[in-house]
Structure 1
Amino acid sequence: MKPITITPAVSANRLKTAQTAATPAEAQKSFSSFFKSSIEKVNQAQMESDKLTEKLALGQNVDLHQVMIASQKASVSLQLTLEIRNKAVEAYQEMMRMQV
């Protein structure tokens, strides 16, 4: 019977880099760039949905399934973005209510 070898899920090098703390400015820049790119992706999905819907309305050769899929992807991504915004505002309001 062969022995089973277990490998670590996270390499030691990745763990070391994850443990090094970023400065607040770096963390803020990283978060803002992530958030900006996410919102740009949501906007791109909305624009793609609008283009396909317009093509369908004009009678151009476009698959109805693709229009509906694009529309639902845009809708779900927008709803997720709104929920994230709501949670962030709620967390901010909760922090403002804390007594120092």
Structure 2
Amino acid sequence: MDLRLNSVTTPIAARPASLARAAAPAGGAQDAGFAGALSGALKAVSASQGESASLQREVQLENPNVSLEQTMVALQKAQIGFTAALNVRNRMVQAYTDIMNMQV
């Protein structure tokens, strides 16, 4: 799971082709930088949680092709990703609250 954000100052044309394809949505229109990055990170966290849940289910069903170590690593990755997303959400709510409490 990769939660690194691309540099905002790097133009999309200068990025490697794989990153340019990942940055461009299927419809062709450009996403907002932060909103697109946040959406991608949340989708990655969701996919990681889904993968860990399916691996956990396979271990419980005693599938010989799925190891316990692989499952535990996937569970830890999902937990770390969720914790990171939760911290980002908490910081965003705090920033919103601070801005709304400012006197103009």
TM-score normalised by structure 1 residue count = 0.71
State the AA in 1 paired with 2:33. S
- Kindly name which structure, 1 or 2, has the bigger radius of gyration based on alpha carbons: 1
Q: Which has the higher contact order (CA 8 A, sep 6+)?
A: 2
Task: Give the whole-Å Cα distance in 2 for the aligned partners of 1:76 and 1:67.
Answer: 14
Aligned-residue sequence identity (percent) comes to 34
1:90 corresponds to which letter in structure 2?
A: Q
What is the aligned length? 75
Shift of 1:29: 1.2
Runs of 4+ in 1 over 4 A off after TM superposition: none
The superposition leaves residues 7-45 of structure 1 with CA deviations (integer Å, 9 ceiling, x where unpaired) of xxxxxxxxxxx4xxxxxxxxx712111111110000010
Alignment equivalent of 2:33, drawn from 22, 30, 34: 30
Please give the TM-score of this superposition, normalised by the length of structure 2.
0.68
For residue 74 of structure 1, the aligned residue among 74, 78, 86 is 78
* Bigger proportion of residues as helix: 1
Between the aligned partners of 1:58 and 1:95, the Cα distance in structure 2 is 50
1:59 corresponds to which residue?
Answer: 62
